Structure 1
């Protein structure tokens, strides 16, 4: 094989790796949340400055808050409370997401809350 053919194959390989890397960085929020929580996406709770993605698997409920625009540190929080129990909370100044927070809900209702900056969402009792 001559050096021209080898260069073409190396260039093609680099192009494929670069494209796959760019696609990984451009994943939508729900695909990012899937990497943090197991199960199926049962709800997405959008609000002015972000969204909370809610997943459920085998009686467990998991939630992650994502900002609409990542980059600078922002105050974010996510909380999940199964009816009859205390809320499990993750809050602070984060770059990309708050959470994941997982609770065992069984067949009980859960209350999900999320905050990014000054905007927030509160679901009320859901997934009963």
Structure 2
């Protein structure tokens, strides 16, 4: 009987630890883009980092001074497709957002507070 109780307690404890660890690791995985950095678009209140991997373009907007919650936005659009956008009130970053560009030109936009940047149509 004691073995069953001990085994049950061990299983519950292990599942609790995994449940607590999973959201943090999932969040950490979502705060960056895979691939190589191909461009950084800087502006007065932040920057947009653009990454490329196997035809996919991924972008993140980073605040120059993180910590204060304010409007932030990142947008990635492959020519001929709809823009993929993340916008809202954030304190550190907006995104990541990605789209499959293949050989198409891409437009990347970002904003933090009153500052913003747009790349225009460029090929990465």
* Alignment counterpart, residue 71 of structure 1, candidates 67, 77, 92: 67
Q: 2:101 aligns to what?
A: 105
Deviations 1:48-99 (A, max 9, x none): 0000000000000000000100011010000000000010000000011000
Q: Separation in 1 of the partners of 2:59 and 2:101?
A: 13
Q: 1:117 aligns to what?
A: 113
Q: Unaligned stretches of 5+ in structure 2?
A: 1-27
TM-score by length of 2: 0.74
RMSD between superposed Cα atoms in Å: 1.3
* Alignment counterpart, residue 57 of structure 1, candidates 53, 60, 66: 53
**Which structure 2 residues correspond to residues 84-99 of structure 1 after superposition, within 5 A?**
84-99=80-95
| Divergent runs of 4+, >2 A | none
- What is the CA-CA distance between 1:125 and the residue it aligns to? 0.7
TM-score by length of 1: 0.72
Q: How many residues align?
A: 95
**Which structure 2 residues correspond to residues 11-26 of structure 1 after superposition, within 5 A?**
none
Q: Unaligned stretches of 5+ in structure 1?
A: 1-31
Q: 1:127 aligns to what?
A: 123
- Say which SS state the counterpart of residue 106 (structure 1) adopts: coil
- Say which SS state the counterpart of residue 125 (structure 1) adopts: coil
